[in-house]
Amino acid sequence: MKLTKFTHACIRLEKDGRVLVLDPGTFSETERALAGAAAVLITHEHADHIDVDAVSGALLANQELELYAPDGVAAQLREKAPAAAGRIHTVAAGDTFEAAGFAIRSFGGQHALIHPQIPVVANVGYLVDANVYHPGDSFAIPDGIDVQTLLVPIHAPWNKVGEVVDFVIGVRAPRAFPIHDALLNDMGRGLVEAHVTRIGARYGTEYRHLSSGESVEV
């Protein structure tokens, strides 16, 4: 399948003429990512992972578009786009389903802790076709699964470099690419990616940087 990285946490997957998009948020080129999409997966409610206006507009404009998200996000979108309510589906950790011809399994359940005074929201990570794993804002490791392509949140208010590296070590996917990097400048990105590249390689993971708009076959 073809994987295209957009700014921050947004990923577009294409297979057999079908398009699946994950986390088209306000930091990303949402309209470009959603063009021709048959399904959208949302990990959690934060704006950098879902542009509510753009996604609800896409649901109303494209009568074939299906959306899958945790309950709070799904409820918000049903209210925002009531005409599309039948195509907005609630997902919880442990679910399995098919979206746009892709086989999906969900993991995790909650967002990583930012601070004890900041409420923890629901977060679902998605494994697509037993291949690509998008964890959203968490370091939940899929149990009993050999992930082939790991999307790594390399920088966030809720993580530090050591945790990023340990996540890569824990999953041990053959290949990994960055997500959640919009808040980094080039110097910071280079520092984090150097650690992930060097240490990940010791455990069998080849890490490769992807710029926004760049694609790779996985």
The CATH number of whichever domain residue 99 belongs to comes to 3.60.15.10
The pLDDT value recorded for residue 113 is 93
How much of the chain, in percent, has pLDDT values that exceed 70? 100
Residue 53 lies in a domain: yes
Task: Tell me what the pLDDT averaged over the chain comes to.
Answer: 96
User: Which is nearest to 180 in space by CA: 54, 3, 10?
Assistant: 10
The pLDDT value recorded for residue 102 is 98
How far is it, in rounded angstroms, from Cα 51 to Cα 173? 29
The pLDDT value recorded for residue 105 is 98
pTM: 0.97
Judge whether 49 and 122 are in contact, CB under 8 Å: no
pLDDT tens per residue across span 14-35: 999 999 999 999 999 999 999 9
pLDDT category at 144 given cuts 50, 70, 90 is confident
* Residue range 87-111: mean pLDDT, rounded: 97
Residue 218 lies in a domain: no
The pLDDT value recorded for residue 32 is 93
pLDDT tens per residue across span 159-212: 999 999 999 999 999 999 999 999 999 999 999 999 999 999 999 999 999 999
Number of domains forming the structure of the chain? 1
Q: Which residue has the tokens 């399904």?
A: 39
Rg of the chain on CA atoms, in Å: 16
Residue 217 lies in a domain: no
DSSP 8-state code for residue 87: G
Give the structural domain span for 70.
2-211
pLDDT tens per residue across span 44-63: 999 999 999 999 999 999 99
Residue 98 lies in a domain: yes
Residue 113 lies in a domain: yes
DSSP 8-state code for residue 215: E
Amino acid at residue number 95: D
